[in-house]
Chains A and B, each alone.
Chain A
Amino acid sequence: KQEVTQIPAALSVPEGENLVLNCSFTDSAIYNLQWFRQDPGKGLTSLLLIQSSQREQTSGRLNASLDKSSGRSTLYIAASQPGDSATYLCAPYCMNYGGSQGNLIFGKGTKLSVKP
């Protein structure tokens, strides 16, 4: 059974800091991995998608890496801003689970607070 763990569960940093969010998963048989952002009481915003054959993806101040063999992904946020405050979710797309052809398995997220 795929299990996804995100560390830390919560993080508070001053504005301007660079930070790293960690995600680990137990089954390396994944199709891809997505990072999402969720604001309180809201839906999910897709941030980055890394295919299983890729090592990293970048979008603006965000960089996500994937080491499928070790079951790890990291999300790097450069020069953090108060607007980055949200919960960040990691979700590998697993081909071997669920009644459908695949299933996103979500971690519980890292709640980030960036102080002005």
Chain B
Amino acid sequence: SAVISQKPSRDICQRGTSLTIQCQVDSQVTMMFWYRQQPGQSLTLIATANQGSEATYESGFVIDKFPISRPNLTFSTLTVSNMSPEDSSIYLCSVEAGGWNTGELFFGEGSRLTVL
């Protein structure tokens, strides 16, 4: 398993500003994932971040809006840029850490973002 810490746990932001969410894992992992959960909805994958390479974004998500950094094997950041009220969501960091090739994913506590 893995222990995943996210900061901030919650924030209230003004329209047009940007916020960076941090994700720290207690062990080295190859793949880190960022998900979004909009109010009343289920989770949607934003992007996959591998250390040393550009993040891979899913359909509907672009790097200019959600830039991601992955400087080492235990840390990643997601920035939500030029925020609008539609960006109000829980953003979750996830890693694959359940043992070799199991594909088991573990999640952080999430960062609840409210945009006014």
Q: Is the interface of B mostly helix, strand, loop or mixed?
A: strand
Inter-chain CA distance A36–B107, complex, in Å, is 10
Q: Does A93 contact B103, Cβ atoms closer than 8 Å?
A: yes
Which chain A positions have C-beta within 8 A of B73? none
Number of chain A residues whose Cβ lies closer than 8 Å to a Cβ of chain B: 26
Inter-chain CA distance A107–B45, complex, in Å, is 13
Q: Does B110 contact A46, Cβ atoms closer than 8 Å?
A: no
Nearest neighbor of B108 in chain A, beta-carbon distance? A43
Q: Does A34 contact B48, Cβ atoms closer than 8 Å?
A: no
13 contacts between A and B (CB under 8 A): A34-B105, A42-B109, A43-B108, A43-B110, A44-B43, A44-B92, A98-B45, A99-B58, A100-B31, A101-B48, A106-B44, A108-B41, A109-B42
Starting from the known contacts A43-B4, A44-B92, A93-B103, 9 additional A-B residue pairs (CB-CB under 8 Å) come to A41-B90, A42-B110, A43-B90, A46-B1, A98-B58, A99-B48, A100-B58, A106-B44, A108-B41
